[in-house]
Chains A and B, each alone.
Chain A
Amino acid sequence: MKNSSRARVLKVTGPLFALSLVATACGGPEAGGDPGAKPETLRVLYTTAEANAAALQAQVPAFEEKFGVQLEIDTQPYDALQQRVFSEFASSSEHYDIIAVDTPWAPALVGNLEPLSEYLTSEELNEQPQGAISDFIPKVFFDTAVYDAGDTLKQFPNPNEPADIEAITAENFDVYGLPIQSNVSVMAYRKDLFEDPEQKEAFRAEHGRELTVPETWDEYVEVAKFFTQPDKNLYGTTVMAGVGEWATTDFKTMLASYGGDGHLVNDKLEMAFDSPEGVEALETYRELIDSGAVPPGSTSASWEETATSFDNGLTAMTTNFHALELSDTVEGGEIAYAPVPQAEAAGPHFGTWMLGINANSNNKEWAYQAISWLTSSETQQAMTEDQLHPSRTSVYDAISSEGADPAEAAFYETLGESLEVGVGRPRVTNYTEISHEIAVAVNKAASGDAAPEAALSEAADRVTSLLEQAGYDVPGN
């Protein structure tokens, strides 16, 4: 994000933020009742990079000023954090009051997180309107935080309506955290190339239509092939087909867009990815690679390499979750964003970090107030200064309507639109193993080692076996 855009965001968010501080200085948490003995410190266990710790840490002084409670944030890299979080819960530790939870971990952790329905309905703890859960992007909120503790496999039946706590509890679900950083697959493209008169004319001459930002996979493949000029070190787009979660997420985005169930494995433990839609998705994926429209090394690439390729001007388009910034060597380069292309439907992969409360904490009411404030509309908007990907509708509305930097507003608009239609992961406790098997299938199909149908069928057998190993009763086995 450019400095000028940061300044503009500050202009927008600054007064709002100051207003919230003034308002809270007049009241304070005690004004509405007694939320338990006031602790000196609330301890937060958070991730270093994946959920933008810098954005959270920047709000610590404001939090401490408002609540008079210190906020101590420990951050760890992803793998270390996961092991730390699980070991904290395994030892019933009360050390951390607030814990960052990534969606793949949630099915296993729900029993150790404090259910929030009573806190959300408490008048004492919700004086300020920012606690309203109806403002969270509905699909983000339900995918991230709403679980049936008795059957964690189940997705909430109606995830498209604004969240309402009574409707949630009526279905035997509860809320186990508040979403803070929402990551979703979006398409980035080189605006300067798409607007270059020479490129436009060449495209018109070659394809008999205007060069536009692709909205369908067919257009995407066509435009990617058009831009590919290996002699000029330029390729159309990227794929993340190396073995890893990146390949699975690439695939599930395409699976959903071809009309399949992007969750990969549904509530009934049926293998939704082993389907005609899955085959179609992999065929398109394979075509991008076969045609040479992606850079060499794409069948071993992860999200880091694809971001590096795009940042260094090697490709005209990319789909990724990473923050992108063109290097100085790309003269005249300009990035713009759009939702990932569709075929039958839209369903970009998304995953959101939430702030949950440790059920063993001695400061649960205060921890609730803290997560409520940290995920509030005003605080999230302030956090966009540090490139937070907000989880609330009102933040996206404010950024796009209040005169922010146009490029930044366009990015957030794309992000918000994509999150509204995103699709999350299956709610199984061994998701990492499931994802690995699907990534292997995607990699084999992408590199031509196996036909898409055979690769998916083999993966379905492996996934079935892994689910059974994890204690699930898979239908038909």
Chain B
Amino acid sequence: MSTIQRPSQQVPEGTSRVPSPGRPARPSRSRTGHVPWLYLAPALVVLLIMTIGPAIYIFYTSFRNASVLGGSGRFVGLQNYETALTDPATQQAFLWTLLFVAGAVALEMVLGLALALPLAQQTRANKVASALMLLPFAVTPAVGAMIFRQLVNPNYGWVTHYLQVLGFPANLDLLGNPVGAWAVLFALDLWQWTPFVALILMAGVQSLPAEPKEAAMVDGANKWQILRYITLPGLVPFLAIALVLRTIQAFKTFDSFKIVTNGGPGNSTEMINLAIHRIGLQSFNIGLACALGVLLLIVLLLLVPAIERVIGRRADPEEM
């Protein structure tokens, strides 16, 4: 169990009060009670204006039939939530979203780890490779999506060309069938975000102390045992950070779906964000869009602490 390092508590100069033995001196509450809040104030103000305020407004609007040009509308109770939760298309969109997030993030964690372990050794080649890894997630997601759409074009895209060389049918229309469309969307997400996970984990591997690993080698542990019992447990906090950040990011994925498939073929890749965009920013049914946004927020609020709890427990050496 980690211990908390408390700052030394000194008695301010000039005070006549002598602390009783065994009881640390405590500064006057009236003098220090507001100071931490003062330090926090700028961050809290920004948080209040940029995050908490809009979140409260979204929550408020989700109970109204608001539209952009119709004012704030009137109170309609849970009607927007009822519409959102009972609409089969929305239910399916939520399901696709969850499956995409679970699948893409899981694959990125595995591939990110597979990249991070060899690249963590600080050789000259690895430094070049690490710099190159930055490129995909430096590309604007919309631009990446537009390029991918061209790459898989069955008439002139080189992906379909080389797939044909590998034995796939000629002029394969990947975006014309649900399996192909999902494969392209996953490939795009993996290309763009695996390096992000890999960089976090690389930093983790590089920060691990060398002694336990050396001791294990002396004791005759093989590479797998070192990875399983020394490297991975040490990496858990980094895995947790990567997992939580990627999960939140993956829920926000919009550009690639909008540009590559626009929800098609049929509605087989219809993510909830596409529906929210259409309802909120094209039809301007703000009340319903806010209700969908709140539902997505609730899913995240339930999911992220759950992930943290599971990984946090595993990060606790006493429970390992």
Contacts and interface: CB of A to CB of B under 8 A. Distances in A.
Interface of A: 79, 82-83, 86-87, 89-90, 108-109, 111-112, 242-244, 295-297, 299-300, 305, 309, 312, 314, 429-433, 436, 440, 443-444, 447, 449-450, 462, 465, 469-471
Across the A-B interface, the 5 shortest Cβ-Cβ residue pairs: A243-B264, A300-B175, A296-B171, A296-B154, A430-B283
Contact of A440 (B154, B267, B281): B267
Contact of B261 (A87, A296, A300): A300
B279 interface: yes
Contacts of B264: 242-244, 300, 440, 443
B176 A299 contact: yes
Chain A CB count within 10 A is highest, among B177, B267, B279, B283, for B283
Interface in B208-249: none
A462 B263 CA distance: 16
B175 A433 contact: no
A89 B67 CA distance: 12
A299 B181 CA distance: 12
A436 B175 contact: no
Interface string B276-305: 001101111100100000000000000000
B121 interface: no
B143 interface: no
Contacts of A112: 69
Nearest to B157: A297
Nearest to A304: B149
Nearest to B172: A296
A449 B153 CA distance: 21
Nearest to A299: B176
Contact of A111 (B69, B156, B283): B69
Nearest to A471: B65
Interface of B: 65, 67-69, 83, 87, 89, 153-156, 171-173, 175-177, 181, 261-267, 278-279, 281-285, 288
Given A433-B279, A449-B265, A469 B288 contact: yes
B265 A297 contact: no
B265 A243 contact: yes
Contacts of B173: 296-297, 299-300
Given A296-B154, A297-B176, A300-B264, 9 more contacts: A82-B282, A242-B175, A243-B262, A243-B265, A309-B155, A432-B282, A433-B283, A436-B278, A440-B266
Nearest to B184: A300
A258 B267 CA distance: 27
Contacts of B265: 242-243, 299-300, 443-444, 447, 449
Nearest to A434: B283
Contact of A449 (B87, B181, B262, B266): B266
A362 B154 CA distance: 53
A56 B175 CA distance: 37
Contacts of A449: 265-266
5 contacts: A87-B68, A244-B262, A312-B156, A432-B282, A440-B267
Contacts of A299: 173, 176, 265
